[in-house]
Amino acid sequence: MKLITAIIKTHQFDAVKAALQAFGVRGLTVTEASGYGRQRGHTEVYRGAEYTIDLVPKIRIEVLAEDADTDDIVDVVVKTARTGKIGDGKVWVVPVETVVRVRTDERGPDAL
């Protein structure tokens, strides 16, 4: 099993969620996140005092998937989250040892 984590632009979230649902992903976890990549943040001015805002608001999506589906799910996210402009985000995949469904105590792929 794999954990797919995607950091995407906030306004792309609805499209990505819909695409993942259409693909058949049954569950995901979403967090409001903030951070920066190579483009850094932006500047705001208050009465002439300039503030560099490093951290840009983003959405973090986490999906647990079986190994066979992983590449497809990554493709779905990347295709729908892409705007071609700077700051589109990142997707990464890490191995997961086990998953437990809290309600039933099911383990492994059954718990997905």
Partner 1 sequence: MNGADTAFVLISAALVMLMTPALAFFYGGMVRVKSALNMLMMSFISLGIVSVLWVLFGYSLAFGDDIGAGLLGDLGHVGFKGITPETLTGGKEGIPVLAFALFQLMFAVITPALMSGALADRVKFSAWSLFITLWVTVVYFPVAHWVWQEDGWLFKLKVIDFAGGTAVHINAGIGALAAVLVVGKRVGFKKDPMRPHSLPLVMLGAGLLWFGWFGFNAGSALAANGVAANMAMNTQVATGAAMLGWLAYERVRHGAFTTLGAASGAVAGLVAITPSGAAVNAFGAILIGLVAGAVCSWAVSWKFRLGFDDSLDVVGVHLVGGVIGTLLVGLLATGGVGGLTQLGRQAAGAFSVMAYSFAVSWLLAKLVDKTVGFRASEDDEVSGIDQAFHAETAYDFSAVGGAPASRSGHQTPAQHLTKKVDA
Q: Summarize as ranges the residues that interact with partner 1 (CB under 8 A).
A: 44-51
Q: Which residues pair with 57 in a beta bridge?
A: 34
Nearer to partner 1, 41 or 108 (CB): 41
Residues comprising the chain, all counted: 112
User: What's the CA gap between 4 and 32, in Å, rounded?
Assistant: 16
Min dist. Cβ of residue 108 to partner 1 (A): 30
Nearer to partner 1, 45 or 68 (CB): 45
Phi then psi dihedrals of residue 83, to 5 deg: -115, -15
Contacts of 78 (CB under 8 A, 6+ apart): 91
Min dist. Cβ of residue 42 to partner 1 (A): 11
Min dist. Cβ of residue 69 to partner 1 (A): 32
